[in-house]
Structure 1
């Protein structure tokens, strides 16, 4: 009997959309829901009986989520898939040659004319005799969360893939670092450090759509945008006053910063994720009495594109990976 504990997920960067490659990196993951659905095309002709008409094989659609803890090296591939390729530098190449800094700014251009964002091949071994290889996988949504309820930073990546092939499983080589933790975070709202938040969630929705063309196959032929990219943000806060609520009422757009500082790499450099948001706009700020305890607010909003910074959200990742 197959068991999830013996499963693994590997990923590999594709050069050409939909052309599969061997997995080179492996994700520590908690769950996955990638599945292939085959459209049933049913004739509408009347055939003289009350039973439905014959079915024919239609489109093969592949989508699902992968979720797990956030580790500082391999998470860069998920960021690349969701935001585009980063700009990479070395903060101190002479004294600390193993430390790299990657700046992910959401791209405005397409990866190619058939794929908006950098595609990956995803191998999911589910403890069967063969592994499931999904080629042409694009990250439509990528969300991160952490807080007093989930003390290890989590990711959820919603993917759309092109085709499925059963292959011999590869041997996983998992990242040997520590994940980011809740107590490593500092939050800044409108230039002021905040200690009132208990949970934080942020990410990107790329509004991708799988499309088919008359190419002689039943597979998706391209994954392109069908709407505007959004950068949702939400948090829970135990408020001491109405300062942030009044900014919601005035629809004031404020700068915000989320930073998690992990384990030491070398010298004075630590593994780190820094999220810069030049304009955070609150869309809902409900304050209600739910009982006799502390009054909390579940705040939602989004990072808005800033014409001066030329981005809505920028993520800087410091780790030991030389390139993505």
Structure 2
């Protein structure tokens, strides 16, 4: 609705309340003649008579009564919407849709949520954890956490740190199959992989003083890193996973890392979001809360 049409409605409602052009004009800061002309223009645009004029008092027609009811409802909704959005800008509230990979969500994001929801009781969260990369606009996502190179886009990004990859396996797998000592040894090992579209059966590794993409093979692939981690824990093969993902397993001895000297790849982690200078208060509060805490977690 344009400002001009909203103003027409407001003036009309004052005329209806006062029953005169002069009384309405005094309230809205217009002369009686200007107020009358505005109502004339409104009636001309609508093609109906809204007010019956007499020398004693103005009276609404049936169409005028209907217009008054609808105008009051529409302006009330506009005022309520303005108050809701203005209030949200001051005090974070409403729904935030968050997307992250399964490992990042499980090991980095979830542990921080109790403190966040306690700090912002009016904010609701809708969490989607998947290792597929989603389109923020198509999926109506407010914030996504991404590992790896960011494509050029209109999205805003906050850098959270770097992720180091580790090749890990369960001790019993290594006891049965031997520990790979060189990159070439991977030829005879079960290498657990991924089945989503952007995955490739290659591991970036350093061999002979240079970085190479080593093709690997295995009988089992899975849809997310958390499943691959569990497969490794079950002794079903080697897995290339983020260090934050297996840090506790390595410390507890449930997994052991191999070929550390060959692991040279590090990937950046970002929080990406839409909004620019109109970022909702709830999204800004979420980013401000999570950014320093996630940076600390990624640092180990």
TM-score, structure 1 as length reference: 0.21
- The structure in which a higher percent of residues are strand is 1
Q: Which has the higher contact order (CA 8 A, sep 6+)?
A: 2
Rg comparison, structure with higher value: 2
